[in-house]
Amino acid sequence: MTPHEASTPGAAGSPLRPPALERYVRAALAGTATALLGGLVVAQYVGAGLYAALTPLVLGVLTAAAVQAATGEGRSGPDAVRVRPVAAAYALLGVALGLRLERSTGLLDPAALLPYGCAVAGVLLWTLPPRR
């Protein structure tokens, strides 16, 4: 292993680990990017029957995966649990962006509750602790 690899945070056998604030900022940035891109996709499927529910569910899963991966700990560990609300918030923002871009349903309309619920369900399904 070269000296550069040994000093790189996250390198195999490296004692260095980014500070907590940096890990959480990384998670928020990953959530922002996922929500923006996912919101564009959700806008294409508003009112499209089954896809209107599946798309926000997939957005929730992808947002949770991106946020947890950005912390550097994967799906388990204290950071993965701490960023779960961040992932849920960004998934909800992504769905809200999709609804706003499409403009056929209001953000707080009762018809919008299903996509919001599916996004949060996707986050919860992804962030559940693995079975042992």
Question: pLDDT tens across 30-70, in order?
Answer: 999 999 999 999 988 887 888 888 999 999 999 999 999 88
Give the percent of the chain with pLDDT over 90: 41
38: nearest Cα among 75, 67, 4: 67
Distance in angstroms (rounded) separating the CA atoms of residues 5 and 11: 6
pLDDT of residue 10: 52
Give the percent of the chain with pLDDT over 70: 86
Residue 15 has pLDDT above 70, yes or no: no
Residue 8 has pLDDT above 60, yes or no: no
